[in-house]
Amino acid sequence: MFRSCRRSLVVSQISLAMLFLATWGLAAPVTTRPVEGLRSNTPDVHALVGARIVVSPGHVIEQGAVVVRDGRIEAVGRVETPADARVWELSGKTIYPGLIDAFTETSVDTASIGSGAVHWNDQVTPQLDVVDSGIRDRDANTKLRSQGIAARLLAPAGRILKGSSAVVLTNNAAAHTALVRRNVAQHLRLTVSPGRGRSDYPGSPMGAVALARQTFSDADWYQRAWQAAEADPGLPQPERNDALAALAAHVAGQGLFVADAANELFVLRADSFAREFSLNLAIRGSGHEYKRLDAIKACNRTVIVPVDFPKPPNVATAEAALAVDLEDLLHWELAPENAARLVEAGVKIAVSTDGLKDVGTFLKGMRTAVDRGLDAEAALAAVTTTPATLLGVSEQLGTLEPQKIANLVVTDGDLFDASTKVLETWVAGERFEVTTQPRFDFRGRWSITVDGEGPELTMSLTGKGTKLEGTVRAVTDSQPNEAKAGDATPDESETEASDESADDRDAEGDTKLSRLGVQDRQLSATFSAKELFGDGVVRLSGVAMEAKRGPPMLEGHLTLADGSRKTFSATRLAAADDGEDEDDEQDEDAQESQKATAEVVTFPLGAAGRSAIPEQPQSVLFRNGTVWTSSDAGVLEDASVLVIDGQIQAVGKDLKAPRKAVVIDLDGRHLTPGIIDCHSHMATDGGVNESTQAITAEVRIGDFIDADDITIYRQLAGGVTTANILHGSANPIGGQNQVIKLRWGALPDEMKLATAPGGIKFALGENVKQANWGDDYTTRYPQTRMGVEQIMRDAFEAARRYRDEQSAWQQTGRGLPPRRDLELEAIAEILEGDRWIHCHSYRQDEILALLRTLDDYEITIGSFQHILEGYKVADAMADHGAMGSAFADWWAYKFEVYDAIPYAGALMHNAGVVVSFNSDDRELGRHLNQEAAKAVKYGGVAPAEALKFVTLNPAKQLRIESRVGSVEVGKDADLVVWSGDPLAITSRVEQTWIDGRRYFDREDDLQARHRDASVRNRLVQKILDSGEEMASAEDREADESELWPREDIFCHGHGHGHGHEHAE
Amino acid sequence: MGRWMTVRAWLVLAMTVVIPVVASGHPEIPGGDQGRPVAIIAATVHTVSDGVLENATLVMRKGKIVAVGTDVAVPKNAIRIEAAGKHVTPGLFSAHSDIGLVEINAVRATLDKAETGSVNPNVKSWVSVNPDSEMIPVARSNGVLLALTAPAGGLLTGQSAVMQLDGWTYEDMTVKPATAMHLNWPAMSPVLDWETDESAKEQIASRDTALKNLRAAFDDARAYAAARAADAETPVDARWESMQPVLAGEMPLIIDADDLQQIQAAVAFAAEQKLKLILHGGYDAPLCAELLKKHQVPVIVSEVYRLPLRRGEPYDTAYTVPARLHEAGVDFCIAGGGRFGASMLRNLPYHAAMAVAFGLPEDVALKAITLAPAEILGVANRVGSLAKGKDATLIITDGDPLETATQVEAAFVQGRPVDLDDRHKRLWKKYEEKYRRLGRN
């Protein structure tokens, strides 16, 4: 197989080389297939000579040769042409390594694994190998080769753990020879698309991550369990599972994982998932990575980026523009700079055709990226060496070096130059012509001599390639043929002179040629006979013949209208110009104006984004205001609050400002603790509900914090500083909640309040028993409140037993190692006091029943949420130590809230229950101070106590009162400046501080509006100026993360809906 | 008014929550017709039509306001309500609600809001208003005494009526039947979010169908009128018959529209069809204020507590709609009945107050939930302000009528005293009693 090793070859690892051998079967292969008919012994040796050779990014040989033998590169550079080689003269051309498309995918048939031991969930198919579904796709390959792509990663599409991919060549060979490497990577999609059924687990992105997490954990267990079982035949045998086996092997071998990342936040999510399981990860990017550059750089992962840049949004009319988000406008402008910005930040990238509707526009996209700042060398690396290394095929692909597979691209110029054409793509030594070069270039002026009687003619042919146009005219005395055929060849240019004279002649006497056709060396055309050959249409056909001496001749015949034929011969007078037409120049002009923009990326990108987290002054003094402390100190008039390093240092009168302190003169205005919303569903794009099973304790809101949710900013403007992001109420035991601080502009992980203890959503009543789900949902257990009570007990019992088994194994080491069950793990944490229940509750009976259940397991509840009839059993709540987080005045949206009353807060409060008012709503969360005032109205709670309903009390319910909830020394400086009494409905938030940083300021907000408006105007003008085709309304598709609910859709009749906004 | 012992006693009674002694549900008893004149004395009177009068007296007789001012003679036989420090305000008026048509949103059996089909101009909301709905006493407990009750769903949803929120039957409650016809303007540009299953393409197709059906309904109604005029024997078509007052410009057409494109299209449609147009929704109305002024189109701002419709808009966009309409000189009122429906109608004054927090003058805010809806809906001759000759439909509060902590202490509908008890107060008292017995309050 290795015919020669004339040049030094470095094989770094023997084992690696062995691996290559296993998958390597190229030209002149050792084949098992019997020969049919004659043996083919066509020599397979080529010398591509005279070209500029780009050996690898940054390594160029200005003129040299590439010798290819039996599909491999034999020699590169100033080498002698082997005697047995076919010579390809390529002077003036450039040879690049064949490009590698780092990501393509194909839907695969899961039938191939169907008969094995499959995973219980059909979203988990790591044992699926894309090669088993066939890798040959002629149409795709033709397109890919037209872009210089000689190899590609082919991944299986669909599902969460999708299966393994392969690197395949883009020749049209079957797997026997086209497969470079299989099992290259395992592919992950750590989310699902909206629209899955309500009983199809996982039904949400967070469910998808939970399933993946459990599966990776199971794979680890699977391996250990089988080891134990094999070591001790007396043990029970674990289940067989092809999925877990495949996954375990891939993880153990440090195999590559490629995770889809639909936007920049998914990159960070995939990265933390990979860290959890120490995976070797690369990212299939979206083109949005520039939005969080530093964070993505910190992941230190290779990102495979697309070059499918968006069309400009429709801003053709003022009305249409109104619906266009600033972020989309900015993305139109910045998407082409994604690759450049990543490279500049030091992120390793590969580029793929992923996402392109037409793969034939790949190079166009690459060139745009280069125009917009991507270093050309880096661009080349992104389609050669980087993917080769990433995909474990750098010994075979990626550069023009001896021993590598002979994948080459021949171009007529710089690959990233707009006018450059890919002429040929060689795949494993097989030459594929991309741009059909005419066998003979007919362009120029010809002198035609017609035999016998007939006029002497001049024929002019212009055009490109095989698409020609032209004229004939009779030679008159006034304009004799200027010269006899000289040595003009098509390659030389005398273009200017001949062009000018052609223009002169256009005026009169020309007869246009029609139906001009070129095939191989034949030319055909028709023209009107008038004035030349009488009436009718003349048909011309001729063949270009090489002359023994001198230039080629065109010989053929004319068929006249009457059917008679005349032979002719023609000689070329002058060659045509070489096709630099005006279009190309215009393109270049257009690109001139497209250089990299200076637009600063804000966090998040678009409206109200900021260029950095607000600074934390070393000291801040709020002075001369009314301070609602939400502590025993009550409401202090003419008071001051001193903040040092983000924490409250002193509260009182006459505090002195330290040197260089930022002083906020309240001037009689009011200062309160930051508002805490104990029940929110904002800032998550994980779907809110994993509704498909009655118990989903394994899912985590924290896996899907959407730091870019504009609701965060809007609620900051309402004084909210901390929020409890809860799973919805679709099931008795839902997912784990996440407490965040509203650090607008920060990363998702930075928003998490790290010191908040874990929590979990429970739910009771109509939602969990599917009372309002419709007639298709009447069988899932439970369907009654009786069943709800039982399923809770059953879960606690199972978790207790789970822990017992774990500790027994740890003590004795006997038996199979216990499988880690993340669902029971979370419930066991409740039993152990490490995870707090926040339970959605309505009717008094279910409230009491849960309290009794918890009492039996010695669990103290974290909080009751909604707790609409808590006022009926406030004594029992107080006795248990249960706190209640309620709506101020919602009622009657479903039957179980017909008895909800706005006096509930006061009644519970008076009975000794710690009460908070929450929003559960993106709008209501913006004025929770007004909700607190309703406790004054309905039941006469004292104002300072009422304010605690939205400050200290929710902090207590979330067990974070040591950090936040009141204006007390040592707590975080989470503070709100109000224009007046915070319980007065006409008061407005003027500033919101978190950690001693000013996250909202109404003055700044007004300025940001102007800034955003001017950016918007600039972009609208730029789009209108660009003349680019705008995206049509009909073609609009939403970012998938926008299609997941941002509220608890199972909380029926909340009135969350659009109301009258969408007429039918 | 036999129950009234003395005036002072009555006020004390009104200020305390009373659990009426009745045997069955819906215990709040409609007020009896006014017998003797009633004088509210020494109050701060928000006339709305004529400014705020301090230390003023208002006299009502036979259900009408007969005098209001600082120099008013109190009739000798009048029941006197000493109201120093109290505020008197016209009964709050929601210009768009579903009160009486909806009891519990998630329970289909309790919904009478949306008829099937998309063209229902003939249905009349008021004939389905349940006078014993628990929503009604809750709403009036916070001063809401008047509401337009409107049908919903489909394209032409039906006819609405102005109702007063006290009475034995819907007929007692109806202030003005057939106040307006209602139309949902189709969404003009696609919305892609989790509440929409349809693709952008499908939404555009639905829109085009709806616009076609809309125009067809008006054309058919005109053709029907022509046919009936030509031949009286032409069979009656309930739908087209009911649209004749709208086509004649006698009955206003209330079009639901928030988006600029919707609003512009609606105004153009009304001009083309020569209709009397009122907008409901109105989120983008400030963006085309000049158009609305030119065509004299008033706006019912559906609610102030709303999220911005578009991500990049200022956070307070919905809060400032009333202030911006006011500054531009567009006639408007605030309905507060949108997203949460009847159960939250009691929060109407807070919608107005939120608009004040974001720039609307306070007197204009109060007008937006009293006189302005009356003017827009054509009942200002009867209700909406405290002026001689108008219905004595008013409230007495212990403070600023827009502030949260303010309590409504008394209310009158056409001079009839309103029982201010409600389901919530009953349950509150019941469980106060529980904890009193347990010694835990």
Check which CATH number belongs to the domain holding B420 and give it. Answer: 2.30.40.10
- CA torsion sign for A43, A48, A49, A53 is negative
Q: How far is CA B91 from the centre of its chain?
A: 10
Going by C-alpha positions, the residue among A856, A615, A706, A808 that lies closest to residue A269 is A706
A577 burial type by CB count under 10 A (0-12 exposed, 13-18 middle, 19+ buried): middle
List the Cα angle A169/A172/A176 in 5-degree steps.
70
Say whether both B295 and B312 belong to one domain: yes
pLDDT tens-digit map of B69-124 = 999 999 999 999 999 999 999 999 999 999 999 999 999 999 999 999 999 999 99
Nearest to A340 by CA among A310, A313, A365: A365
Least Cα separation, residue B431 to chain A (angstroms): 6
- Cβ distance A1052 to B106 less than 8 Å, yes or no, reads yes
Interface of A with B in 902-941 (CB under 8 A): 902-903, 907, 910-912, 922-924, 926-927, 930, 933-934, 936-939
> CA-CA distance, A944 to A983, in Å (whole number)?
9
Q: Give the separation between CA A107 and CA A92, rounded to whole angstroms.
A: 42
Identify the three-state secondary structure at position B325. helix
- A 10 A CB-CB count for B212 gives 11
Q: What is the CATH number of the domain that holds A481?
A: 2.40.128
Same domain, A784 and A923: yes
* Whether residues B59 and B105 fall in one domain: no
B 346-365 residues with CB < 8 A to A = 346-347, 350, 353-354, 356-358, 362
Residue A1060 to residue B190, Cβ atoms within 8 A: no
pLDDT at A509: 76
CB contact under 8 A, A1055 and B306: no
Residue A248, classed as helix, strand or coil, is: helix
User: Residue A71 forms beta bridges with which residues?
Assistant: none
Q: Could B404 and A934 be called an inter-chain contact, meaning their C-beta atoms sit closer than 8 Å?
A: yes
Using one digit for the tens of pLDDT, what is the confidence trace for A34-80? Answer: 888 998 888 899 999 999 999 999 999 999 999 999 999 999 999 99
For A70-178, list the strands marked E by DSSP: 72-77, 86-89, 94-97, 99-107, 149-157, 161-164, 166-169
Which are the contacts of B33, defined by CB distance < 8 A and separation ≥ 6?
B63, B415, B416
All residues of chain B having their beta carbon less than 8 Å from the beta carbon of residue A1042 are 192-194
ipTM score for this prediction: 0.95
3-state secondary structure of A404: coil
Crossing angle between the packed helical segments B238-247 and B200-230, to the nearest 10 degrees: 90
The b/e string for B344-368 (b: 16+ C-beta within 10 A; e otherwise) is bbbbbbbbbbbbbbbebebebbbbb
| Residue at token pair 């200020």 | B15
Provide the residue range defining the domain that includes A483: 444-575
Q: Tell me: do B169 and B230 sit in the same domain.
A: yes
CATH of the domain at B299: 3.20.20.140
- Which residue of chain B comes nearest to A1034, CA vs CA? B201
Q: What is the pTM of this model?
A: 0.91
Q: Which of B361, B382, B403 is the last residue of a domain?
A: B382
Do A723 and A750 lie in a common domain? yes
Residue A422 in contact with residue A147, Cβ under 8 Å?
yes
Judge if B125 and B195 occupy the same domain.
Answer: yes
**Strand pairing report for A522-528 and A161-164:** unpaired
Residues 829-868 of A with CB under 8 A from B: none
B206 and B329 together in one domain: yes
Domain boundary among B336, B362, B382: B382
**Given the structure tokens 């770094």, which residue do they identify?**
A12
Same-domain pairing of A779 and A794 = yes
Over chain A (1064 residues), the average pLDDT of each successive run of 10 is: 41 37 45 86 93 97 96 95 95 97 95 92 96 91 97 97 98 90 97 87 97 98 96 94 98 97 97 98 98 97 97 93 94 96 97 97 97 96 98 98 98 95 97 86 87 79 83 72 45 41 52 88 88 84 85 88 87 65 44 62 95 97 97 97 98 94 97 98 96 97 97 98 97 98 98 97 96 89 97 98 96 94 98 98 98 98 98 98 97 95 98 98 97 98 98 98 98 98 97 98 97 96 94 81 88 45 30
- CATH code, A896: 3.20.20.140
Type of residue found at A506: D
476-535 of A, contacting B, C-beta below 8 A: none
Q: Which residues lie closer than 8 Å to B23 by C-beta, 6 or more apart?
A: none
Residues A849 and A718 in one domain: yes
The backbone torsions φ and ψ at residue A1008, rounded to the nearest 5 degrees and listed phi first, read -65, -35
Task: Tell me if B428 and A939 make a contact (CB, 8 A cut-off).
Answer: yes
Q: Residues of B numbered 153-172 whose beta carbons fall under 8 angstroms of chain A's beta carbons: which are they?
A: 153-155
DSSP state of A820: P
Nearest Cα residue in chain B from A898 = B104
A114 within a domain of the structure (yes/no) = yes
Q: Among all residues of chain A, which has the CA nearest to that of B426?
A: A901
Percentage of residues in chain B having pLDDT higher than 70: 94
Q: What is the DSSP letter of A601?
A: P
Phi, psi of A906 (to 5 degrees): -65, -40
Q: How far apart are CA B339 and CA A1059, in angstroms?
A: 5
The candidate with the shortest Cα–Cα distance to B346, out of B149, B174, B141, B150, is B141
> Are residues B123 and B150 located together in one domain of the fold?
yes
Same domain? For B363 and B402 the reply is no
Query: What is the tally of structural domains in chain B?
Result: 2
User: At residue A145, what is the residue type?
Assistant: R
* A570 and A716 in a common domain: no
Contact (CB<8Å) A327/B135: no
A893 → closest Cβ in B106, B185, B256: B106
Phi-psi region of A533 (alpha: psi -120 to 50; beta: other; left: phi over 0): alpha
- Report the candidate in B93, B60, B282, B71 with the shortest Cα–Cα distance to residue B175: B93
Mean pLDDT (whole number) for B32-36:
88
Q: Which of A365, A398, A431 is the last residue of a domain?
A: A398
My answer on whether A926 and A989 are in the same domain is no
Q: Using CA atoms, how far apart are residues B103 and B130, in angstroms rounded to an integer?
A: 9
Q: Are residues A278 and A332 in the same domain?
A: yes
Residue A926 sits in the same domain as residue A975: no
CA-nearest residue to A710 within chain B is B311
Residue A600 in any domain: the answer is no
Domain stop point among B382, B411, B427: B382
Rounded CA-CA distance A543/A537 in Å is 20
Please report whether residue A691 resides in a domain.
yes
Torsion of CA B378, B384, B387, B390, to 10 degrees: 60
Given a cut of 80, whether residue B295 has pLDDT beyond it is: yes
Q: How far apart are the first and last CA of chain B?
A: 37
pLDDT tens figures, A765-821: 999 999 988 888 999 999 999 999 999 999 999 999 999 999 999 999 889 999 999
Q: Are residues B151 and B191 in the same domain?
A: yes
pLDDT score for A670: 98
Which residues of B fall within a CB distance of 8 Å from A874?
431, 435, 440
Residues of A with Cβ-Cβ distance to B136 under 8 angstroms: none
Pairing of strands A280-284, A835-840: unpaired
Amino acid at site A394: S
Same structural domain, B149 and B49: no
**Contact A1063/B210, CB-based, under 8 Å?**
yes
Q: How many domains does chain A have?
A: 4
- What's chain A's average pLDDT? 90
Domain for residue A425, yes or no?
Answer: no
Contact: A892, B193; criterion CB under 8 Å: no
- Give the CATH number for residue A624: 2.30.40.10
Q: Could you tell me which residues come within 8 angstroms of residue A358 by beta carbon, excluding any fewer than 6 positions away?
A: A143
Closest CA to A965 of A641, A908, A977, A956: A956
Q: Is B16 exposed, middle or buried (0-12, 13-18, 19+ CB in 10 A)?
A: exposed
In a domain, A1008, yes or no: no
- Give the closest of B107, B343, B405 to A895, CB-based: B107
Residues of A in contact with B187 (CB under 8 A): 1061-1063
Tell me what pLDDT residue A595 has.
64
Q: What is the mean pLDDT of chain B?
A: 93
Query: Domain range for residue B422?
Result: 1-90+384-441
Give the pLDDT confidence of B135-159 residue by residue, as tens digits.
999 999 999 999 999 999 999 999 9
